[in-house]
Structure 1
Amino acid sequence: YGTAHAAMVCIHSTFGFRGALRETARVYGITESEISGVTKKIPYFFGESKNALGIADFLATHPRTRGLHLDPPWPEIIERAQRIVGLPSSIGTHPGGVVITPGRIDEYVPVEISAKGIPIIQWEKDGAEDAGLVKIDLLGNRSLAVIRDTLANLREQGITIDEMRWEPTKDARTIELLARGNTMGVFYVESPAMRLLQRKVGRGDFEHLVIHSSLIRPAANKYAEEYVRRVRGKPYRFEHPLLRKVLAETYGIMVYQEQVSQVAMALAGFNAQEADELRKVMTKKHRRARLRDFREKFFGGAGRNGVPSDVIERIWNMCMSFSGYSFCKPHSASYCQVSFQSAWLKAHYPAAFMAAVIGNYGGFYTTQAYIGEAQRLGIKVYPPDVNKSRRTYVARGGAMRVGLRQIKGLSEGAVTAVVESGLGESPFKDLEDFLERAQLDEADAQRLVLAGACDSLEPSLNRAQLIWKMKCRYRGRADRYDAVPPLKSNSRREMLRAQYRALGFLTEVHPITLVKTTRPRGAVKIGDLREHIGSTVTFLGWGVTSRTVTTRYGEGMQFFTFEDETGLVETVLFPAAYRRYVRCLGWQEAFWITGRVTQTFGAIVVEVREVRPASHAGYAQS
């Protein structure tokens, strides 16, 4: 259609607590490091919706900030920042909304050019739809790139998958992997909540996976637990006989968006247009006023069909669990096709798959978490090497090599120079040959040496000696190039620390194995927790990811994922533990966790009672 007839939809961003504080503090000349020290304690997006608390009240009462002392001018900054909370801050580009028009698009809607040169309309998606514009959602999906790169890597190894005859949904090993919840890296089903649900249900077939991918949504937790019981054999009755046909495939529980419409038609006599309007209103942020009218019509129609008022109330509450966001069945089914392809590749070719996951910048977890998963799968992870690495990760057999792009601070130009200067020629013979052919600036060359990517060029020299030779060359001291002094080699711990600084993870071991700490008597490994169900144990865990939720009583609680070299475990901090320990917990750090090991439908969760930071060797902070 061309840019004259098409543009992306915009999003209007507003100031939350973090953004308001940051912008106001900058006006006062506060340094970025000091600003970040305050704002990092505030959850993302907090304050962007209407909250009862202001910034000052939040800082004074929230468990993460309670007791935080801020010297002047911070009290004044906080007071002024509160005035701009909720005001527009910027215009951005919607991740997938595209508007197409028959005539010039600027004759229908105001258009501007984004910072990246993309034309965007100045209306959000709802305004575009209300104006009658044709809007298409074209979503970018990183996992399609993961599948593409995995298949390309396999072809390089002489393994070709016939995609026309590829049927991962019928593969027993893939179904088993999904049923066990061993899905880190697998598109759409790798979150802690999804992995737990998979383990509880114990089903990895396509039909159940489609249900599960729609069932995991913010307001549906109690229905998810009931669903698990029903799948595992608990007898149940439909809330009303009129719902049997609509909810039979989902065990009597509303899972998909279209089931809201179908229930409204079957139970309350809505016509198709009214039912679809109800479905749309359910998923809108600003829905309260219109929802009152739909509620009245729903209760009235269901009552005329002889449905008891208490049953209507329960069914309406089930409809309310679709607030915020939810999915229709075709959406979930199409996504699960990609999930199955991803899971099949992980089950059969784990090294190539994990290399592609990390090479495409992961998904739900940090690079260290994916490296840890690869190591637990028995995959050998090799560090970057100027003679063997490519731009990104690549696998060979049961091993993978870190890509040059992983090295922190290394310019894209340097990555290109190293890769292209090594193509079509013999490998770099030594450091001098490498520097001559790659023609890097000194800073990039030093980053490569410190990351260990030049170790194989001159194995008889340590990195300090390689740095010495490199600096001689860049300073024009050819007379001293071969007179390498006997510089001291780094210790193993120092080498690992340098690698952590350069890459953000360790290739040989999990960082937790190097933590200097006193091991409590009776401490266990995460992989052995299943042997201690019902007992209170202590283990050393590396923070991977977390999710904070609010209880029905307005209290905060947190789900936290930890790992060690033997496995992953999900933990829960109920409100009392959350208030006490939330300020000391973090990702990419090690903690001694004490808690009770519980098992629900076969899934292990530790209820945290005590958290103690482990003393680090220093690599994570250096």
Structure 2
Amino acid sequence: MYLNCKTYFSYRYGTCSSEELVQQALEAGATALALTNINNTSDVWDFYTACTDVGIQPILGAEIRNGDTLLYLLLAKNLDGLGVINSFLSHHLQTGEPFPEQEKFGEHVWVIYPLGNHNPAQLAPNELIGVQPSEINKLFAVDTAAYPTKFVIRQPVTFKDKKHFNLHRLLRAIDKNILLSRQQTEHIAAATETFLTPAQILAAFRQHPQIVTNTLRLVDTCHYDMDWKTDKNKKVFSATPEDDRILLEKLALDGLQYRYGNKNKVATERVQKELRIINDLGFNSYFLITWDLIRYAQSRGFYYVGRGSGANSIVAYCLQITDVNPIDLDLYFERFLNPHRSSPPDFDIDFSWQDRDEVIDYVFKRYGKHQVALLGMYSTFQYNATLRELAKVFGLPKHEVDLIARDPHAKLGEDKIQQYILHYGSLLMNFPNHLSIHPGGMLISEAPIHQYTALELPPKGFATTQIDMFVAEKVGLHKLDILSQRGLGHIKEAIRLVRNNKQLSIDIHDVDKLKKNPQVAAQIRRADTIGCFYIESPAMRQLLQKLRCDNYITLVAASSIIRPGVASSGMMREYIQRFHHPEKIVYLHPKMQELLEETYGVMVYQEDVIKVAHHFAGLDMGEADVLRRAMSGKYRGRKEFERIKDQFFANCKTMGHPDAITAEVWRQIESFGGYSFSKAHSASFAVESYQSLFLKTYYPMEFMVAVINNFGGFYSTELYFHELRRTGATVHAPCVNRSEELTNIEGSEVYIGFVHIKSLEKETIATLLMERYHHGDYQHLEDFIHRTGIGAEQLNILIRVGALRFTGKNKKELLWEANFLHKRVQQPHRTESLFCEPAVEFKLPQLHHSAYEDAMDETELLGFPLCDPFTLVSADTTGYVTARTLPQHLGKVVDVLGCYITEKPTRTRNGQTMFFGTFLDPEGAWIDTVHFPDTAARQRLTGRGFYHLRGKVAEEFGVYSLEVRWMEKVGLREG
């Protein structure tokens, strides 16, 4: 009877989750329930399990609408029927074609039309007409006896009560972007769309028992035999599972020869062991599909990093999926895959942001559009944005909308409306708002993917599932992560620039050679890492200095202990203390010293949990990984966990460990679980960091231009240009005869790219570059105007940024001449001339233009000046202490002049706010500041600019900082 129910996955329409809907149905006395969200099957599987958990029969389907017009309901009789519905939805959602008013769906799908839309005489056997209890009176005009099997009960359920009806109305107003007072009847559901009890429905249809019977018969036809336990991913890569086994073995052994030679017994035995486990668990195809992806990327010259727990596998290393040597780092394969794990492990593959889409496109074309999709996720209503939306719906003026968004409890004139906004805003929290795309997840299924989900086509242009990763995993579809990050773009672009600028080719994949390079080691020790992936932030640079990092192992550790959980737990400081004073370390047990000596007795990695559980407590590797997963919150089998815990203590007793030591080891494992991090993950990050560091060490100019051309990293573009100048490069303003769209380098001369000029249109850039490529450099201003047909506004931007300085005239002269030439030509248009005509000569009074005016123009148009910024400050820069001399003033109060770079707020243990700041001094060196809660409460950093800072010079593990006691912002000089 409840054949038309919605959840909040009817976006901006429904008002409850699947679980809430099923609970309401249970309270109403329902025994069967259909989920029919509008053009959507996102939560059918959550709904299915919620129903079966409480003994309600689930019916899966969808409500088909064009805009506000209900066309029909689709109900699947079985899983084949659900596949038909998903396929139908996918076609129309991806093409944008309107849904047809009538369609043939075949025998596995029931189609239910609203009463009055179709003649029952013209309906197919699987097509029915739904009658609402509120529509009983309309049946007097219909000859139901002539078509006794064609009518069923359709009681829509959209909300629970009056409050949720109001919530529904607000959602509809948000969706339509209209005032609530402008809402029309056709925009919203009827107020009767709630759960009536079965008794109420039967009473309404007491004169139509045949309709009741038809409804019950329909319900009886809907059954779904869903196997939750089987892996639904693509099972075969080649021809057969056995062929996959043979192929993977061949590729792994070939890679073993490449990576280790033919005499490494340890590596050979480990490869054979991993191959056995991979085959026994049925994951040969998973490795081969990932290898195929990497092979394609290599053929296209794409740079990539295979990271995550996949780097624990020597087979992955031999297949070049990762560049982390698991034997060198003592990485356990069982962290990645073991007999206790039934789901496929995760491979995370990072590509440059420029290359990732092509890799995704390859996967679609290689494995078929019916088996491949990007993984969806949901953008949800969050508090502040929701308050703003509700304020607009209630018609508050803009200044009050802004006020309530900034401060929900600000006093408004209409207190009652404010109460409504706050009340319904809290109800809307975390409602799904629209479908989004998972950052990198892809699904490759064995069966057509429509068996599990409908697909949409977001602006990215790739088919995307309506289900998210949690539902996909429940079904048995496990994602392959194809991610993007700018660090790889830095590396690729730097290599291209070195090849063009220095005619050199670089093998960046010879990581072992990079690790042993003394110049790279010195670069890390100095923490000269600006622009380098993962190791350029102020906190990371300080940590590298505190650890005197100059090797790969220490860098791997630093990549782990910098993470928020480790730092806030106090273990990062403990690690640094032990690094500096290893003689003071007291190990719990000789075995613990043997296992954790590399990390000074501190558990830094998730692999340490496995190591201790296996070697100290005698658990097998699979059990040790279950323990690791439980500690990191990724294992839900409590019984299994308790069994392993008991085994841990029993084994320790058998091995003769004192009870007190066993209990302390267990306590450390438990406390570590909240902030654990995979060593393989850190090792992968460290590999990419070394690649960046090598390029920065030997080709600093090209590397920094590459960072700029990939639009930075942790810092602003201005900071990267500052670093570029420190390499010895001469940075020029954009030039119409020398610049490209991106920043380019010629020897040590760098020309800023047109892309950095604010308000300069893409069409202007494309036109001036194309004209220059085809017909050579521009000769003078008039030549530039005639050849490009540029408008006055765009021309003025180029003149003000200095892009026409090749003419030898200053900006004011050029602006005057440009204005005259534009008036003379009226509407300039591109013209081609057979001869180079001389420029028109103007007699002008002397027009002065200063370097200060240039700096102001550059700040406005580029976002930063090209001169030394300290030449603009309205203070004498000579009277301040610099970063270089801080060690001479340890413990003293000094004055510093700093140019703001960034800040990091944090909370103390008692909840107070404090800040860490980063500044440049007049010599271009870095100064780190600490703003304790009392100072932070009195004086806040207010963003970019210059600050006079007064504070005490402090030192910790060789790193100097300024503990700020007072500060004020310093202005710019005038003219």
TM score, norm. by length of structure 1: 0.84
**1:316 matched to which residue of 2?**
670
**1:151 matched to which residue of 2?**
495
Mapped contact 1:239–1:315 kept (Cα < 8 A)? no
Matches within 5 A, 1:186-585: 186-221=532-567, 222-235=570-583, 236-267=585-616, 271-283=620-632, 294=641, 298=645, 301-302=648-649, 305=652, 306-308=658-660, 309-322=663-676, 326=677, 328-459=678-809, 462=812, 463-469=814-820, 471-472=822-823, 475-476=826-827, 483=842, 485-486=844-845, 488-510=847-869, 512-517=870-875, 523-565=880-922, 566-581=924-939, 584-585=940-941
**1:62 matched to which residue of 2?**
none
* SS, match of residue 157 in structure 1: helix
Q: 2:607 corresponds to which letter in structure 1? A: E
How far the C-alpha of 1:200 sits from its partner, in A, is 0.7
How far the C-alpha of 1:543 sits from its partner, in A, is 2.2
The separation in 2 between residues aligned to 1:110 and 1:86, in whole angstroms, is 22
**1:126 matched to which residue of 2?**
470
The separation in 1 between residues aligned to 2:785 and 2:627, in whole angstroms, is 66
Select which of 141, 153, 156 maps to 2:485.
141
Select which of 427, 437, 454 maps to 1:110.
454
The separation in 2 between residues aligned to 1:526 and 1:292, in whole angstroms, is 57
How far the C-alpha of 1:315 sits from its partner, in A, is 3.6
Deviations 1:115-160 (CA, angstroms, capped at 9, x unpaired): 3323222333333233321311122131222112112112222331
Higher Cα Rg: structure 1 or 2?
A: 2
Select which of 945, 951, 974 maps to 1:595.
951
**2:22 matched to which residue of 1?**
none
Q: 1:590 corresponds to which letter in structure 2? A: F
* SS, match of residue 262 in structure 1: helix
Change (3 A) 1:70 1:343: farther
The separation in 2 between residues aligned to 1:416 and 1:549, in whole angstroms, is 45
**1:46 matched to which residue of 2?**
none
The separation in 2 between residues aligned to 1:380 and 1:228, in whole angstroms, is 40
* SS, match of residue 577 in structure 1: helix
How far the C-alpha of 1:177 sits from its partner, in A, is 0.8
* SS, match of residue 139 in structure 1: strand
Change (3 A) 1:477 1:211: closer
Deviations 1:404-430 (CA, angstroms, capped at 9, x unpaired): 101012122222222221114321101
How far the C-alpha of 1:244 sits from its partner, in A, is 3.7
* SS, match of residue 117 in structure 1: coil
Q: 1:314 corresponds to which letter in structure 2? A: Q
Q: 1:538 corresponds to which letter in structure 2? A: D
Q: 2:543 corresponds to which letter in structure 1? A: L
Change (3 A) 1:73 1:573: farther
Change (3 A) 1:188 1:420: same
How far the C-alpha of 1:255 sits from its partner, in A, is 2.0
Mapped contact 1:428–1:457 kept (Cα < 8 A)? no
The separation in 1 between residues aligned to 2:669 and 2:746, in whole angstroms, is 54
Count, aligned residues: 583
Deviates more, 1:10-19 or 1:605-614: 10-19
How far the C-alpha of 1:609 sits from its partner, in A, is 1.7
The separation in 1 between residues aligned to 2:659 and 2:729, in whole angstroms, is 58
**1:19 matched to which residue of 2?**
385
* SS, match of residue 219 in structure 1: helix
Q: 2:673 corresponds to which letter in structure 1? A: C
Change (3 A) 1:374 1:281: farther
* SS, match of residue 422 in structure 1: helix
The separation in 1 between residues aligned to 2:825 and 2:626, in whole angstroms, is 69
Change (3 A) 1:340 1:484: farther
* SS, match of residue 593 in structure 1: strand
How far the C-alpha of 1:434 sits from its partner, in A, is 1.6
The separation in 2 between residues aligned to 1:318 and 1:538, in whole angstroms, is 42
Unpaired runs of at least 5, structure 2: 1-366, 653-657, 830-838
Deviates more, 1:534-543 or 1:263-272: 263-272
Mapped contact 1:268–1:298 kept (Cα < 8 A)? no
Unpaired runs of at least 5, structure 1: 43-54, 57-68
Q: 1:178 corresponds to which letter in structure 2? A: I
How far the C-alpha of 1:397 sits from its partner, in A, is 3.0
Mapped contact 1:469–1:481 kept (Cα < 8 A)? no
Change (3 A) 1:477 1:263: closer
Deviations 1:369-405 (CA, angstroms, capped at 9, x unpaired): 2122223333321111110001111223334221110
Q: 2:458 corresponds to which letter in structure 1? A: S
TM score, norm. by length of structure 2: 0.55
* SS, match of residue 333 in structure 1: helix
Change (3 A) 1:307 1:408: farther
Matches within 5 A, 1:53-132: 56=409, 72=413, 81-132=425-476
Change (3 A) 1:189 1:215: same
Mapped contact 1:11–1:92 kept (Cα < 8 A)? yes
How far the C-alpha of 1:461 sits from its partner, in A, is 5.8
* SS, match of residue 138 in structure 1: strand
How far the C-alpha of 1:449 sits from its partner, in A, is 1.9
How far the C-alpha of 1:26 sits from its partner, in A, is 4.2
The separation in 2 between residues aligned to 1:135 and 1:489, in whole angstroms, is 64
Please, what is the CA RMSD of the aligned residues? 3.4
Deviations 1:237-281 (CA, angstroms, capped at 9, x unpaired): 334444344423322222223323333444556554454344445
Mapped contact 2:524–2:549 kept (Cα < 8 A)? yes
Change (3 A) 1:172 1:80: same
Percent identical pairs in the alignment equals: 30
Change (3 A) 1:151 1:270: same
Deviations 1:570-602 (CA, angstroms, capped at 9, x unpaired): 222222223333xx4133222222222111111
The separation in 2 between residues aligned to 1:458 and 1:38, in whole angstroms, is 54
Mapped contact 1:382–1:399 kept (Cα < 8 A)? yes
The separation in 2 between residues aligned to 1:30 and 1:525, in whole angstroms, is 52
Deviations 1:283-312 (CA, angstroms, capped at 9, x unpaired): 55x98x878995896488347624423443
How far the C-alpha of 1:555 sits from its partner, in A, is 2.5
Mapped contact 1:497–1:618 kept (Cα < 8 A)? no
* SS, match of residue 173 in structure 1: helix
How far the C-alpha of 1:471 sits from its partner, in A, is 3.4
Deviations 1:222-245 (CA, angstroms, capped at 9, x unpaired): 222222222234321334444344
